[in-house]
Each structure stands twice: as C-alpha cells, then as structure tokens.
Amino acid sequence: MEKQNLADCYVSEEHGFILQDPLDKLPDYYKPWMDIAEHLTVLIETKKLRDAVHQMPELDIQQLKGHRQKRLARTVLSHMVMAYVWQNGETGGVKLNANRREKRRSWISAATEEKYTGLDPVNAVPHRPSVQVLVVGKVLPRALAVPYHQISLALGLPLIMVHADLVLANWKKKDPLGPLTIENLSTIVSLPGGDNLQGFVLVTLLVEVAAIPAARAIIQAVKSVESDDKQTLIIALQDMECSINKMKEAFHLFYDYVDSDVFYSTIRLFLSGWKDNPNMPEGLIYEGVSEKPLHFSGGSAAQSTIYHAFDELLGIQHRPDSSDFLLKMRHYMPPAHVGFIKWVQEAPKLPAYVLKCEDTALLSIFNQCISALSELRSFHIRIVSKYVTTAGIRARMKKNEVVNHEEQERGTGGSHVMTFLKSVRDTCKEGTLKHSIPGDH
C-alpha cells in the first residue's frame, strides 16, 4: 500500500490525527445549523433543542466545499443529533412501560415527507402511512437525519457522533499564534457540562497532541524495518516511548479539569449510543434515511486511531471479545485513518524483525514501548474507575438507588468496561519479547 505519506491519511507531521486548523464557520446558507450549534447548551438545558430542530429547514450539503467545511458540518450535526436524542435525559421519552408502550404503538411510515412540529418524537405519527413500520423508538426528524446521512456518507463515518467529531475536529485556538495548551484552546461546539465539558474534550485532544510524535515514529519504524535500518528503528522506538509517556502526562490533566460527578451525571449521557443500550433498545429511526431503526455505539476514545496503530506495530493480539469490539471501533474512525492502521498492519512484522536482529538495545527499547503502553492503559483504567465506577456508585447512593452491577459495568460504547479494559491492558503486556540471544538470558 502506498500510504507512506502522512498527508494521504489526513495525518500531518504537525498535527497527527487531529484535524489541522478546523474551521469554525460555515457559508451563510448553513446559518440555521450554526445558530443552533452556537446555542446548543442553552437549548438543551431549557429543553428547547428539539423544537429548534423541528423548525430547521432541510439543507443540502452540496454547498459545502472542501474537507474542513465538511468536517465542521459533520461536527455540528453530530452534536445536534446527540442533543436531540438525549435532551430529556437518559430515559427521556424512550423507556415506556408496557401499557404506555402499547398505547403509543403506531404503524407509520418512517420515510414519510410529513414534518414533525413540536411533538415529542416518540409520539410523532404522520397521518398517511405508505410503508408500514412498527415504531416504538425515537425518530430523528428528516431535516437533521437526511443531511447528516449525506455528510456521513461523504466522510465515511457512521450516523452518530464519534471521537473525530467530538475531539479531533472540535478545537480552536483562542490566540491563533499561541500554543496548543489548554489555556489557549476552546471547543467549537459544546454540550452541557460547562468548563468540565471543555476540559473533557480538550484534555482528550491534548492526549492526541502528545501522540503526534508517536504517529511520526510509527511511520519511521515501519520504514526502518522495510529498509533493514536497525539504528533508525531504535531512534523511532525511543521517540515512540517518549511520546507514550507524554500521553500519560497529558491524561493526568483530567484530574484538574474534569470533575468526576459532572462527567458521570451530565457529560457521559451525551456520548451514549443506541446499541446495546437498555435506555434505547429500539435504536433510532433516521427519518428519510432508513425505515428500520438503526443502532450505533456511543462516542469513545476507543475510536482513537493511534492506539490501534500501536497495537498493530507492536504485534499485540487482543482476546477475541476485546478484539471484536476494538475492530468494530474502526468503523467509527475516518476511513483515511483506518487506511493508516491497515498500512501498519500490512507492513513487515516488527516483533519478528526485533527477534531476528538479536540486538539487546533494540529488544530493550521494543519492550520499553510495550511497558509504556501498558502503563498508559493502566492509568486509563484508573481514570475509568474514578469517572465511571466510583462516580456512578456515588450518584446512585445520593439517589438512594441500589447499585446495579450490570449497569455500572457498561461503558459509553456498550462494552463491559473493566473486564474489557483489563483484558486489553494484559494482552498488551503479553506482547513483551523474551531474550533469545545466546548467553544473554
């Protein structure tokens, strides 16, 4: 594969997987979208977001020019979709009890031209059905669903907000000439959670920023193996280890910028998906797009390309369950970034090369990379324990609710969090290579 040029994968030497200089404005034609995006948090908090979407005209994506305009449109619409679905809380109008569910069952056309004005989407029943579909779930109105589908097709992304929307394309510098530091950054589109939401997105962004040298090092490492250049490979792996350690340092900023209770009680909801989610078992109907409800996993940094590239480079083989989930997450990344992972995957295998070289310095730096990555994953587990497990227990205790272990264990992407994360961290450690150099045991 000829993907040796970072730019071919929208991976830049300077910005890694982050979108370079995201736009924060769209052409005037898209004013109805931008007006909502600018006031998104207030509209959600006053529960007026759905009304605003119902009044939105159906716009055509043809007026969008170039990759950055498309990414901004996708970021704006993704936020609107999450806001629309979760405006009324996690059970907002979806979890119906048997009687109410029976009453609300209606045979309707999901592809109808009818407009839903001011109705709770669960109740929205057009008058003249054409195709009969049993709807017991939510309906995303076509003025949002249709352009969202078009822009998602154009960018090769699923019909839900992903890491690339929430983080990679959602940042701007306050002082354009200033550095990429948290003080000099803000998001372009926000969700409820105030400074904590800003902190959540921007710290995640800074972890990606810290990973930029690692992306360069991966390219260098692949090329060095191809050209049998051991010395350059050692330097590339040193750079990679250093970059992974910097990612961990950036990760620590969560403690300063994100309150775990705000994360748990407010932010987490807007990242939730409608796949394996008991609050939305029926999925979501995208009016004018699909007559059947569709199911998508929520936003998660499991959709961050760099970790997948590390695993491919270092030859880490996750257990089938974990691997299934992680492979699915690749469908939630920009296709060009997946192209980068595939390029690493298809390159000559690094662990085999390291063993073949029988060089102590090379073996040692390879193992240091494995251990840095395992430690990064262990730190991430501590974050998840604080921000999901412990904060969840506290939230339930405050409400005098019984803690349901099954629900505690479910992550934004619907996985069994701790079991999954520990398995991924442990298989990562198992990637350590043993000395095979005679007399060097």
Question: What gap in Å lies between CA 121 and CA 82, rounded to an integer?
Answer: 14
Let me know the angle formed at the C-alpha of 81 by 79 and 85, rounded to the nearest 5 degrees.
120
Residue whose beta carbon is closest to ligand HEM: 411
Residues from 364 through 393 that contact ligand HEM (CB under 6 A): 377, 380, 383-384, 387-388
DSSP assignments along 81-132, one per residue: HHHHHHTT-TTTTT---HHHHHHH-EEE-TT------SS-TTT---SS-SS-
Q: Which of 84, 148, 254, 286 binds ligand HEM (CB under 6 A)?
A: 254
Structure tokens at 133: 């579909």
Smallest distance, ligand HEM to C-beta of residue 120, A: 28
Contact between 412 and ligand HEM per CB under 6 A: yes
Task: Give 116 or 325: the residue with its C-beta nearer to ligand HEM.
Answer: 325
Smallest distance, ligand HEM to C-beta of residue 340, A: 15
Contact between 162 and ligand HEM per CB under 6 A: no
Smallest distance, ligand HEM to C-beta of residue 67, A: 22
Of 24-32, 142-150, 358-366, 406-414: span binding ligand HEM (CB under 6 A): 406-414
Task: Give 78 or 112: the residue with its C-beta nearer to ligand HEM.
Answer: 78
Smallest distance, ligand HEM to C-beta of residue 425, A: 6
Smallest distance, ligand HEM to C-beta of residue 411, A: 2
Question: What gap in Å lies between CA 212 and CA 226, rounded to an integer?
Answer: 22
Task: Give 149 or 377: the residue with its C-beta nearer to ligand HEM.
Answer: 377
State CA 392 to chain mean position distance: 21
Smallest distance, ligand HEM to C-beta of residue 371, A: 15
- Residue 265's DSSP bridge partners are none
Smallest distance, ligand HEM to C-beta of residue 325, A: 7
Residue with tokens 């716009």: 59
Question: What gap in Å lies between CA 133 and CA 169, rounded to an integer?
Answer: 36
Q: Which of 87, 290, 415, 427 binds ligand HEM (CB under 6 A)?
A: 415
Task: Give 50 or 248: the residue with its C-beta nearer to ligand HEM.
Answer: 248
The region that residue 224 occupies, defined by phi over 0 for left and psi between -120 and 50 for alpha, beta otherwise, is alpha
Among 300, 295, 281, CA closest to 387: 300
Task: Give 224 or 427: the residue with its C-beta nearer to ligand HEM.
Answer: 427
Question: What gap in Å lies between CA 137 and CA 392, rounded to an integer?
Answer: 26
Contact between 424 and ligand HEM per CB under 6 A: yes
Smallest distance, ligand HEM to C-beta of residue 302, A: 3
Smallest distance, ligand HEM to C-beta of residue 297, A: 7
Among 327, 356, 353, CA closest to 342: 327
The contact pattern for ligand HEM, residues 6-45, with x = CB under 6 A and - = no contact, is ----------------------------------------
Smallest distance, ligand HEM to C-beta of residue 210, A: 9
Backbone angles phi, psi at 135, to 5 degrees: -110, 120
Residue 51 CB-density burial (10 A; 0-12 exposed, 13-18 middle, 19+ buried): middle
Residues from 183 through 212 that contact ligand HEM (CB under 6 A): 204, 207-208
Smallest distance, ligand HEM to C-beta of residue 385, A: 9
Which residues have C-beta within 8 Å of that of residue 100, sequence separation ≥ 6?
A: none
Residues from 115 through 154 that contact ligand HEM (CB under 6 A): none
The total of other beta-carbon atoms located within 10 Å of residue 385's CB is: 15
Residues from 273 through 332 that contact ligand HEM (CB under 6 A): 300-302, 304, 307
Task: Give 154 or 301: the residue with its C-beta nearer to ligand HEM.
Answer: 301
In single-letter form, the type of residue at position 174 comes to K
Question: What gap in Å lies between CA 38 and CA 190, rounded to an integer?
Answer: 8
State the DSSP code for 28. Answer: G
- What are the angstrom distances between the C-alpha of 287 and each of 109, 126, 441? 9, 11, 64
Task: Give 154 or 384: the residue with its C-beta nearer to ligand HEM.
Answer: 384
Size of the site for ligand HEM (CB under 6 A): 26
Element (H, E) at 405: helix 405-408
Footprint on this chain of ligand HEM (rule: CB under 6 A): 204, 207-208, 251, 254, 258, 263, 300-302, 304, 307, 377, 380, 383-384, 387-388, 411-413, 415, 417, 420-421, 424
